[in-house]
Copies of this chain bind each other. A is one copy, B any other.
Amino acid sequence: METLSLPLDPAEELHEECGIFGIVKAPSNLAGAAQDSREPVYDTYNALYTLQHRGQDSCGIAACIDGSIRLHKDQGLVPEVFSQKGLDRLVGASAAIGHVRHANNIADVNPLNAQPIVVHRTIGSMALCYNGKLVNSMQLRIEMESRGAIFQTTNDAEIITYLIVREHLRTNTLEDAVINAMEYMIGAYSVVVMSQDEMVAFRDPNGFRPLCLGRVGDSYVFASESAAIDALGGELIRDVHPGELISIRNGSLTSQFCRVKAAKSALCMFELIYFARQDSVIDGTTIGDVREEAGRYLARNSTVDGDLVIGVPDSGLAAALGYARESGIPYGIGLVKNRYIARTFIQSSTWERRNALRIKLNANSSVVKGKRVILVDDSIVRGKTSARIVQLLRDAGATEVHMKVTAPPFRHPCYYGTAIPSGEQLAAYDRTEEEVCRLIGADSLQYMPLEGLRHLSEKLNLNYCDACFTGNYILPVPHLHFQEGQKL
């Protein structure tokens, strides 16, 4: 018997690389500030809990206590990595940053690859968290190695740290070092850096990945998503703008922009469609509203009729509701998700792996039986999960299953931080829509057209990156990838 301990259909899911967070307490001598009794480490812990959907492989917190930086990071979910004892070691901080991470491959699952990265320097330590992907990381790496740099991880975060540290040698302030470093960085990056007296947050000129600024009591916070600010009872101030650097020192905020100008801002479409929580506000738009509007768009352009609209939980629900509202077809809860499903799930055989979806998701027969079901999901990756959900619904008595997907067909690799399977594994790689429809066994299939994305963009006043659908890459595609011992 073949036995494996595997995540559920890992290749079926798109993965975000990271969630980041930072908090700076108001200085105690700040005029007007009440005695701020917050514990940055607990706020960071709570925030990481809220950002957990952005990365489940490892996590960590670095806290600045009495001018030095303490670090706790390891593989695992937030509650696995942080015990009471682990948190207590970080209590008493004036500032803290934290990170949740998705590993791209199994070799990558290593406590050393976890973030934050902390650098111990004689001029003061520095900690850094990063979400994104540099297009030119390999060039930077080779160049740095040629000057004697050593890399203990395979993370871009280490490269960015090197860049900032190098620039800091010839600048007076951390901000200036970052502004200089940004000239060398090409790609997607949202970063929070903390030194013993300063926190700096910055976002790449295209704004591929989200990053926002908020206030919790008298503390300032940065977060990948505003839901983390809500979780602390705080309020969103605004997004960090593409290309902007915000620094906090002695309780005051400074903003400046990097010298690199981007052709256009280009938020990752999948943040909107799938990654982010529906209650997060990114670049001025609530994610749930984007999804509802996507559902409405599909409804307006649909040619099939149905008796019931259901969404694949959790990311498909808002779109399904939008579809239902626009079409007038009743919305129902046709799929029930197991809320206790763990990251690892032991399966004894191929048979069980094939059926693992049933443990995670069940169709409510009473809801779908005898119905022509409109099924709304955010994307089709390899198609296997979609095929199983369609079958689940048929087994439960659905007479027809019409698949509605709020993203266009996935055909191109992402170089900006989304872990999309390579070409041939994608359902839409060399299949027409009709072929994908047959692959997943649906009665009909409607993808969001590129035109639909444009509509969304206009309606919501949002620019976005659609390279994975169109192959139109905003930044150059990397031609070098890191491989150990390769001859260059």
Contacts and interface: CB of A to CB of B under 8 A. Distances in A.
Quick one: which of A232, A333, A344 has the most chain B CB within 10 A?
A333
B359 A50 contact: yes
Interface in A314-354: 314, 317-318, 321, 325, 330-333, 336, 338-342, 344-349, 352
A103 interface: no
A358 B230 contact: yes
B154 A120 contact: yes
A484 interface: yes
Interface string A149-171: 11111100010011001100100
A5 B485 contact: no
A488 interface: yes
A289 B366 contact: yes
A141 interface: yes
B365 A279 contact: yes
Interface stretch (A107-115, A205-213, A432-440): A107-115
Main secondary structure of the interface of A (DSSP, over half): mixed
B332 A485 contact: no
Given A142-B122, A364-B278, A149 B149 contact: yes
A91 B325 CA distance: 50
A453 interface: no
A: contact size bracket: 35 or more
A78 B230 contact: no
A336 B53 CA distance: 13
Given A68-B484, A70-B107, A148-B165, A321 B317 contact: no
| Copies of this chain present | 4
A233 interface: yes
A236 to B, nearest CB: 9
A288 interface: yes
A307 interface: no
Contact of A333 (B318, B336, B341, B486): B318
Given A288-B366, A333-B278, A169 B146 contact: yes
A13 interface: no
Contacts of A196: 484-485
Contacts of A464: none
Contact of A484 (B69, B161, B333): B69
Contacts of A278: 333, 336, 364
Interface in A278-314: 278-279, 281, 286, 288-289, 314
A56 to B, nearest CB: 8
A200 interface: no
Given A147-B148, A230-B358, A339-B339, 14 more contacts: A39-B349, A52-B338, A68-B485, A69-B484, A77-B340, A79-B342, A79-B344, A123-B145, A149-B150, A150-B158, A230-B363, A233-B358, A286-B364, A321-B332
